[in-house]
């Protein structure tokens, strides 16, 4: 890996997001001295490629973090709750993609374009927000700074890759089965996902909202530092492989024109404006997949409420929504001299 750089682990390396974390580390030329690829014992014997060299996948154990500077976790909440504190206790900074620590008051929840000033390496764990939250706050940050957002109503249309490799394969198999007139196999989702959609992401809570919906509510408030911000979310799973889409409606404290919003977003880091509907130009998942920016279009006034705006926001959920944001947090730590 070279003499300069940092010893980095990817936990959950064989999963869809873990694979992509390895790729993004290479794409963005993160200064890796040594890389350690960790997963469950089921993955022993596998190898993964980083910078043209094959590395064996090692079993995740309690002593896996000795000598490491940084660990990117994408292995689920139960794994993170057990192993992230162990890594942090050994001086390894953890950037965790699960929901395990996001709402812990002492643990920063970071989107670098939005709240970079909140980053800290104490207590050794940094949380990566939910994929649907990340793209929304990236798009809304410039508007919030300019006109203060009072209320958000969001409906998401979320790709199956947000659930993982098994869900991607289930959609592929169901599409094939439908075309061939064969029996449908359903294992990952509660309903057929091919040629269908359903408003069920995560368990339903006593308040009638799903876990995914409340993640968006609570994480948005924490990231913006606005605990009283009114947020209402409806999250929907759709038969798309990569790329979450969101219909976002906001109400601001002061009036702001569509033209001003377009100008703000055009200058905002990590945002691309694609907004010419008469010519069929607006963000769509199939064109956004594989890209790191958040794309915004269909920006328009909402005449039903004072200072209302509506827009359409699309991003690749496993890049900016997961792997890329995690690596960007690592880059932010480097830039701030925190690692």
Which residues are designated catalytic? 131, 244
Looking only at the bridges linking them, the beta strands covering 308-315 and 294-302 are: antiparallel
Query: CA dist 137 to 94, 108, 151, 209, Å?
Result: 22, 15, 13, 20
DSSP letter (8 states) at residue 103: T
Alpha helices in 71-164 (DSSP H): 77-89, 112-115, 131-147
CA distance linking residue 51 with residue 68, whole number of Å: 19
Nearest to 247 by CA among 160, 153, 169: 153
- Taking the CA atoms of residue 253, residue 259, residue 262 and residue 264 in that order, the dihedral angle to the nearest 10 degrees is -60
Which residues touch 152 (CB under 8 Å, ≥6 apart)? 136, 140, 220, 229, 230, 231, 232, 248, 249, 250
Angle at 22 between CA 314 and CA 213, to 5 degrees: 35
Alpha helices in 77-228 (DSSP H): 77-89, 112-115, 131-147, 165-180, 211-224
């Amino acid at each position: 890996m070279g003499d300069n750089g940092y010893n980095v682990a990817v936990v959950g390396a064989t999963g869809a997001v873990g694979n992509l974390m390895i790729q993004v580390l290479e794409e963005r030329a993160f200064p890796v001295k040594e890389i350690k690829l960790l997963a469950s014992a089921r993955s022993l014997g596998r190898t993964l490629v980083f910078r043209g060299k094959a590395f064996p996948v090692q079993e995740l154990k309690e002593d896996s973090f000795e000598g490491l500077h940084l660990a990117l976790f994408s292995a689920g909440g139960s794994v993170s709750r057990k192993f992230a504190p162990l890594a942090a206790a050994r001086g390894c900074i953890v950037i965790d993609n699960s929901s395990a620590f996001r709402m812990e008051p002492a643990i920063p929840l970071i989107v670098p374009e939005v709240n970079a000033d909140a980053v800290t390496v104490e207590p050794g764990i940094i949380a990566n927000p939910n994929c649907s939250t990340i793209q929304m706050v990236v798009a809304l940050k410039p508007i919030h700074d300019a006109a203060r957002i009072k209320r958000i109503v969001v409906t998401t249309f979320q790709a199956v890759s947000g659930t993982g490799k098994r869900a991607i394969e289930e959609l592929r198999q169901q599409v094939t089965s439908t075309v061939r007139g064969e029996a449908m196999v359903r294992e990952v989702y509660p309903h057929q996902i091919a040629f269908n959609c359903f408003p069920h992401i995560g368990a339903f809570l006593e308040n009638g909202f799903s876990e995914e919906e409340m993640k968006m509510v609570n994480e948005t408030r924490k990231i913006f530092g606005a605990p009283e911000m009114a947020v209402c979310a409806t999250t929907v799973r759709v038969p798309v492989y990569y790329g979450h889409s969101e219909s976002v409606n906001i109400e601001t404290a002061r009036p702001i024109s569509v033209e001003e919003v377009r100008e703000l977003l055009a200058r905002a880091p990590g945002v691309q404006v694609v907004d010419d509907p008469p010519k069929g130009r607006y963000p769509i998942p199939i064109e956004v997949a594989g890209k790191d920016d958040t794309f915004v279009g269909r920006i328009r006034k909402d005449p039903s409420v004072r200072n209302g705006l509506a827009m359409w926001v699309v991003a690749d959920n496993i890049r900016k929504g997961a792997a890329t944001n995690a690596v960007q947090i690592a880059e932010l730590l480097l830039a701030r001299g925190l690692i």
